[in-house]
Structure 1
C-alpha cells in the first residue's frame, strides 16, 4: 500500500487547537498514513503578512493538506488568515491543485460561528483547485 503524506497546518493560541491537531494526526497514523504537523507561529508574521515561504512551498510535496484554526469573531484567527493570504503565490503556481483538503476548528460561541471558519477553509481549497 502506498503511503499518503498529509500535512496538518494550524494555529493554536492556548493549546486547544494544537491538541485537536495532534489527535487528528494520531487518527491519520492509525490508518497507516503519514501526517506532519505544521504550526503557524506568530513570529512568522511580519506587519500582518505570513513570511514562512519555506512552509508554504513545502506543502506542494504533500498529497493532502488539513487546515486548522480556532474561530475568533466568526472566522479563522488573524494568524491563520495571514497564512491563507500568503498562499497566493502557491495559487498562481497551481502547487496545491488536485490535493485533498480538509479543515477543523473549535470555538466557544453558541452562535454557530465555527461554520464560517470552515466555509473559509472551503473557499481557500476551491481557490487552490483542491479536492
Structure 2
C-alpha cells in the first residue's frame, strides 16, 4: 500500500501553528507538503488538488480562525464548484493561549468548510487523563473535532511536550485513515 500524499496548509502568526504543522508531518511519516497560506504558489494549489489528505491549521484569534487563514479558505471557490476536493480526507488543528480560547469555534469553521468541499473529516482518537490516568497530558484539551494546542506564554518551550506528542499521534492517525480510505476499507 502506498504512503498517502498529505498537504498541511496553515497560517502561523507567531510560529506556533507552523511548529504544530511540522510535528503533525513528523507523525504522519508520509510525503507531506507544508504550505504557508500567506505565500501560497500555483504549485501549492496543484499539490492540494493532488493530495489524498489535507490537514488545515490556523491559530484561533478573537474566537475564530485567523483572518489570513479564512482568506485562503475563500480562495478555494473554484475547487468547490468543480468538486476537486470531494472525498479527500480532511482534518484540522488550532492553537490559542487560553485553555478554551474558543478553539472549538475554529475547528467548527474548518470542519464545516471541509463538509462543504465534500471531504471526509477525521478527528483525534486519543483518550488521555483523567479518563485514562496512565496517559497524562495526551489530548489534554479533550478535543475530538480536531487537534487543540494550548500555548504556554512565558515558558522556555511555549508548546507543551504533551501537545507535541498528541500532534505526532494525530498526524499518524490521519495518515492511517487516509491509507485505509484509499484502499477502499
TM-score of the alignment, normalized to the shorter chain, above 0.5: yes
Question: For the structure 1 residues 110 and 24, does the alpha-carbon distance in structure 2 shift closer, same or farther, using more than 3 Å as the test?
Answer: closer
| Equivalent runs, 1:48-127 vs 2, <5 Å | 52=41, 54-127=43-116
Q: Indicate whether 1:24 and 2:31 are aligned.
A: no
Write out per-residue CA displacement over residues 50-102 of structure 1, whole angstroms, 9 at most, x where no aligned residue: xx555334311000000000000111111100001111111001000000000
Q: Distance in 2 between matches of 1:26 and 1:88?
A: 30
Larger Rg: 2
Q: Distance in 1 between matches of 2:103 and 2:58?
A: 10
Output the aligned Cα RMSD: 1.5
- The one of 10, 35, 41 equivalent to 1:38 is 35
Mean Cα deviation higher: 108-117 or 119-128? 108-117
Tell me, yes or no, if the aligned pair for 1:57 and 1:90 is still in contact at 8 Å.
Answer: no
Q: Distance in 2 between matches of 1:54 and 1:113?
A: 33
Matched with 2:2 is 2
Q: Distance in 1 between matches of 2:21 and 2:14?
A: 13
Off by >4 Å, runs of 4+ in structure 1: none
Segments of 5+ residues of structure 1 without an aligned counterpart are: 45-51
Q: Distance in 2 between matches of 1:2 and 1:117?
A: 32
Which structure has the highest strand share of the two?
1
TM-score for the superposition, normalised by structure 2: 0.61
Tell me, yes or no, if the aligned pair for 2:60 and 2:101 is still in contact at 8 Å.
Answer: no
TM-score for the superposition, normalised by structure 1: 0.85
